[in-house]
Chains A and B, each alone.
Chain A
Amino acid sequence: LAKTTQPISMDSYEGQEVNITCSHNNIATNDYITWYQQFPSQGPRFIIQGYKTKVTNEVASLFIPADRKSSTLSLPRVSLSDTAVYYCLVGSTGGGNKLTFGTGTQLKVEL
């Protein structure tokens, strides 16, 4: 199972771009990289997912280098409401694998 490493916390200000990097050196060929966001008293919710190169949706971008040993979640122009814990998850659900989350990154956005 791929182990992930993320910074424990990050601080930012409203309007800035935030990049959170996750290391996953032993990622397997079938593994996808998925990021989740968790607010207090809620379950994590899906933000974005990728396999390689770059993926962009309405809330974030995900950059994955060719070796896939890391990934970077990019949040453009953050606001106070983006204050949350962000988890990087590496694995594959289709094959029925156990999925283990890392410790996550607490992002705090201030005015």
Chain B
Amino acid sequence: GAGVSQSPSNKVTEKGKDVELRCDPISGHTALYWYRQRLGQGLEFLIYFQGNSAPDKSGLPSDRFSAERTGESVSTLTIQRTQQEDSAVYLCASSTRDRKNSPLHFGNGTRLTVT
């Protein structure tokens, strides 16, 4: 079946501009995660959505970052007034809630370059 889809795959933007990244999770997956991965680094947790519950935003690095998700569907990550340090790959993952050990399914990410 279809996996997690992210768009765009690459985004180049000028410093100070706003960007919006999109994630389409696997159908039926109630949990959705956003991670940031800088070049050569590990995955940095940003935000977590679970169904209609309030999201866990504890990983968002600043108030320039925000994310939305409507129900159990598409999510968008918005970065306002981008800075060069925002350059990274932004990864989205989804999982089911039918069992405690449901693995994460990742998209291939959006590579963001801020010039």
- Which residues of A pack against B, CB within 8 Å? 30, 32, 34, 36, 41-46, 49, 51, 87, 89, 92-96, 98-104
Contact = CB atoms under 8 A, between A and B. Distances in A.
**Mostly helix, strand, loop or mixed at chain A's interface?**
loop
Given A43-B93, A93-B31, A103 B42 contact: yes
Contact of A94 (B48, B97, B105, B106): B97
A49 B95 CA distance: 14
Contacts of A30: 100
Contacts of A51: 101
B58 A93 contact: no
Contacts of B104: 34, 36, 44, 46, 89, 93, 99
A45 B106 contact: yes
Contacts of B58: 98
**Mostly helix, strand, loop or mixed at chain B's interface?**
loop
A94 B31 CA distance: 9
Contacts of B65: none
Contacts of A103: 41-42
